[in-house]
Amino acid sequence: MRTAVTALSGAVALVLLISLANAAGLFLIQGSARTRELAVRAALGAERSRLVGQISIENAMLAVAAAVAGTLLAFAAVGMLVRGAPADLPRLSEVTVDRGALAFALLAAVIATVGFGLIPTLWITRSTPFHSLRGSQRGATGSSANRRLQEALIVGQVAVAVVLFSGAGLLVRSLSNLRGVDLGVDQSGLALVNVPRTTPTRADLPATIAFYGRLSERLAAAPGIRAVTATTTLPFAGPNAYSTFYALPGQTAAQAGRNSSVDLEAAAPNFFATLAIPIVRGRPFSTSDRAGPPSVIVNAAFAREAWRGRNPIGERLKFGGAESPSMWYSVVGVAADSRYRNLTRDVPTVYLPLERLDSLMGLPPSVLAVRSTLAPGAVLGLVRSIAHQLDPSVETLGVETIPDALAAPLARPRFSTGLLTTFALIAILLTTIGLFGVMASFVQERTREIGIRIAVGAQTAQIRRLVLGRGLRLTALGMGIGLAFALGITRLLASLLYELRPSDPLTYLTVAAGMMAVTALACYWPVRRAARIDPMTVLTSD
Over 70: is that where the pLDDT of 98 sits? Answer: yes
- The mean per-residue pLDDT over the stretch 476-485 comes to 94
Over 60: is that where the pLDDT of 242 sits? Answer: yes
State the Cα–Cα distance between residues 157 and 161, nearest whole angstrom: 6
Amino acid, single-letter form, for residue 20: L
158 vs 145, more confident = 158
Over 60: is that where the pLDDT of 240 sits? Answer: no
> Sorting pLDDT into bands at 50, 70 and 90, what band is 225?
very high
State the Cα–Cα distance between residues 435 and 429, nearest whole angstrom: 10
- The mean per-residue pLDDT over the stretch 252-261 comes to 86
534: helix, strand or coil: coil
Query: For 106-117, what is each residue's pLDDT tens digit?
Result: 888 777 777 777
CB 11 within 8 A of CB 423: yes
Query: For 316-357, what is each residue's pLDDT tens digit?
Result: 998 877 777 778 999 999 999 998 888 888 889 999 888 776
Over 80: is that where the pLDDT of 291 sits? Answer: no
CA distances 318 to 245, 249, 267, 306, 322, Å, are: 9, 8, 18, 12, 8
User: First vs last Cα of the chain: how many Å apart?
Assistant: 63
- Stated as kind and residue range, the H or E segment containing 234 is none
State the Cα–Cα distance between residues 513 and 502, nearest whole angstrom: 18
447 vs 239, more confident = 447
What is the per-residue pLDDT for 432? 92
pTM for this predicted structure: 0.79
Over 70: is that where the pLDDT of 235 sits? Answer: yes
**Mean pLDDT computed over every residue of the chain:** 84
**Do β-strands 349-353 and 262-267 pair in parallel, antiparallel, or remain unpaired?**
parallel
Question: Angle, nearest 10°, between helix axes 505-531 and 402-445?
Answer: 40
Query: For 350-408, what is each residue's pLDDT tens digit?
Result: 998 887 765 555 567 788 999 999 999 999 999 999 999 998 888 888 888 888 888 88
Highest mean pLDDT range out of 3-12, 387-396, 406-415, 510-519? Answer: 510-519
State the Cα–Cα distance between residues 513 and 520, nearest whole angstrom: 11
> Sorting pLDDT into bands at 50, 70 and 90, what band is 506?
very high
Task: Supply the DSSP string of 161-188, one letter for each residue.
Answer: HHHHHHHHHHHHHHHHHHHT---SS--T
Q: What's the count of helices (H) and strands (E) in the chain, helices before strands?
A: 18, 12
Edge-to-edge, what's the strand order for the sheet holding 367-372? 225-231, 367-372, 190-194, 398-400
What is the per-residue pLDDT for 365? 78
- Residue 352 Ramachandran class (φ > 0 left, ψ -120 to 50 alpha, else beta): beta
CB 364 within 8 A of CB 356: no
Count the neighbouring beta carbons within 10 Å of the beta carbon of residue 390: 13
Query: For 182-214, what is each residue's pLDDT tens digit?
Result: 888 888 999 999 888 776 566 677 788 888 889
Query: For 116-141, what is each residue's pLDDT tens digit?
Result: 777 666 766 665 555 555 554 444 44
CB 132 within 8 A of CB 124: yes
State the Cα–Cα distance between residues 425 and 429, nearest whole angstrom: 6
State the Cα–Cα distance between residues 530 and 542, nearest whole angstrom: 19
Over 70: is that where the pLDDT of 163 sits? Answer: yes
CB 32 within 8 A of CB 441: yes
Over 50: is that where the pLDDT of 540 sits? Answer: yes
304: helix, strand or coil: helix
What is the per-residue pLDDT for 138? 44
What is the per-residue pLDDT for 139? 41
Show the DSSP H helices in 361-459 as ranges.
376-390, 402-445, 447-455
369: helix, strand or coil: strand
Which of 142-156, 313-327, 501-515, 523-537 shows the lowest per-residue confidence on average (mean pLDDT)? 142-156
